[in-house]
Amino acid sequence: MADEEDIILSELDDEELVLQMHDDLYDGLKDEIEEGVRILLDRGWTPYDVLTKALVAGMTIVGADFRDGILFVPEVLLAANAMKAGMAILKPLLAETGAPKVGKMVIGTVKGDIHDIGKNLVGMMMEGAGFEVVDIGINNPVENYIAALEREQADILGMSALLTTTMPYMKVVIDTMKEKGMREDYIVLVGGAPLNEEFGKAIGADAYCRDAAVAVQTAKDYMSRKHNKLAAG
């Protein structure tokens, strides 16, 4: 039987390679993930397919075993590191559309929450779609969001939360925007695995975005409505 070390990634066909990348992500093997990403790109895969089919799908398996107590924080951190290494290769390719800037978004993960992979992915895809993205990182108190929106003169606020305990903080941010009379000046989009449409509505966001592709489409839709409104005077 072949030893793990004997596997030569470039000799695998696409399907085998993607499955092997899921395993390598699970095992937190950063170098192998980087190599796998490069091979798929060389074979003509689009950066988006590499991202979703090899990396995001692999992370879903990690998530299930984390939930079931099979994997623990240190292992998941390694997997996250490997994922980020793969994403770093894809980032410039996703952003390389040369499209004119269609709007500006401030995005950050809410206070108490340090998950950033989904947020980073949304940022990358938004940049790829021609948005200017200002990423304010993780664990953001409301003051950070408000300051960044005002400083950057952004069109869109994007908030990410991955924990059921941190997602209610999005409402704190939106309520503060209302108190300051600035809520209507921005399009507020929210996302993260534990959220849903009802939650988005309940907290007063403009839209809940299930994934990065939906975030891009939703942002585009809202920006064109905003432009139409301005044009109508």
Contact status, residue 169 vs residue 118, Cβ threshold 8 Å: no
Helices (H) and strands (E) in the chain, counts: 10, 5
- Does residue 119 interact with ligand B1M by CB under 6 A? yes
E strand residue ranges, the chain: 103-109, 131-135, 156-160, 187-191, 207-209
Which residue type, as a one-letter code, is found at position 181?
G
Q: Which is nearer to ligand B1M, 7 or 76 (CB)?
A: 76
Given the complex with ligand B1M, which of 7 and 163 has the nearer CB atom?
A: 163
- Residue 29 as a binder of ligand B1M (CB under 6 A): the answer is no
Rounded distance between C-alpha atoms, residue 156 and residue 187, angstroms: 5
Q: Which residues pair with 158 in a beta bridge?
A: 107, 189
Sheet of strand 103-109: strand arrangement? 131-135, 103-109, 156-160, 187-191, 207-209
Residue 168 engages ligand B1M in binding (rule: CB under 6 A): no
- Give least dist CB 76 to ligand B1M, A: 4
Residue 36 within binding range of ligand B1M, rule CB under 6 A: no
**Footprint of ligand B1M on residues 41-100 (CB under 6 A)?**
56, 59, 62-63, 66-67, 73, 76-77, 80
Smallest gap, in angstroms, from Cβ of residue 228 to ligand B1M? Answer: 21
Single out the residue of 57, 211, 220, 226 in contact with ligand B1M (rule: CB under 6 A).
211
Q: Which residues bind ligand B1M (CB under 6 A)?
A: 56, 59, 62-63, 66-67, 73, 76-77, 80, 107, 112-119, 121-122, 158-160, 162-164, 189-194, 209, 211-212, 215
